[in-house]
A = this chain, B = another copy of it.
Amino acid sequence: MRQNPARRAALLDAAIEVLAREGSRGLTFRAVDEAAGVPRGTASNYFANRDELLTQAGARVHERFRPAPATVAMALEGPRDRARLTALMRDLVERISAFPSGQLALLELRLEATRRPRLREILTRQIRDDLEANVDFHLKTGLPGDATTVVLLYLAINWLILDRLTLPEVIPEDRVPELVEALVERLAPAEGAR
């Protein structure tokens, strides 16, 4: 079992790309090797089996999704009103839609998690922690709305992104901003009402 962390990360990133591009059907050790531009057999040296590869890829997606420091900074400036929240949500939709690989890979992994307890465990923790962090952040910064607001936003925004990534013609492109605005407007109480 090889240990080189940079190479391992590169292989995992390649695995994420393969997952997004070819689906879990196309995710083989060889495909990972090729996507990473390393000789055949390399992935075999780093991951004992498919399950290892998938769970580590899940952790890697987590790792790459977490930071987003620019957005955090942006949220801390200016007023904390609904307009700001709307802007944040629009930014979120745009940002994730613009880099679909991670999100698509995550969906593939979710479906795989149905059959792989270890993977399910990892994804559960990762997504639950993320959601909790969002709630905390939201409440702490004084953005409009309560904890339920954040959870409901999470639900709707995620499916909106899924629709855009997989079946973009179900909801016309130009309705997206309007929908996000309506979501915030209805899910977060008006400023006066707090």
A108 to B159, CA, bound (A): 15
Some 26 contacts from A to B, beta carbons below 8 A apart, are: A22-B115, A23-B25, A23-B111, A23-B114, A24-B24, A24-B25, A25-B27, A107-B111, A108-B111, A110-B162, A110-B167, A111-B166, A113-B166, A123-B167, A124-B167, A148-B179, A152-B156, A152-B179, A152-B182, A155-B157, A155-B163, A155-B179, A156-B156, A156-B159, A159-B159, A159-B162
Residues from 21 to 79 in A contacting B, C-beta threshold 8 Å: 21-25, 27
Give the A interface residue count (CB, 8 A). Answer: 44
- Interface residue A120 (Cβ < 8 Å from any Cβ of B): yes
Q: Which residues of B contact A127 (CB under 8 A)?
A: 167, 170
- Give the distance to chain B from A96, nearest Cβ to Cβ, in Å: 14
Given A111-B111, A124-B169, A167-B110, the answer on whether A152 and B23 have CB atoms closer than 8 Å is no
Count identical subunits in the complex. 2
* Residues of A near any B CB (own CB < 8 A): 21-25, 27, 104, 107-108, 110-115, 120, 123-124, 127-128, 131, 148, 151-152, 154-160, 162-163, 165-167, 169-171, 179, 182-183, 186-187
Top 9 A-B pairs, shortest CB-CB distance: A155-B156, A156-B156, A159-B159, A155-B159, A110-B166, A25-B25, A158-B159, A124-B169, A124-B167
From A153, which residue of chain B is reached at the shortest CB distance? B156
Q: Which of B104, B123, B151, B156 contacts A171 (CB 8 A)?
A: B151
Q: Which residues of B contact A155 (CB under 8 A)?
A: 155-157, 159-160, 163, 179
A120 to B165, CA, bound (A): 11
Q: Which residues of B contact A131 (CB under 8 A)?
A: 170
**Quick check: A114 and B110 within 8 Å, CB to CB?**
no
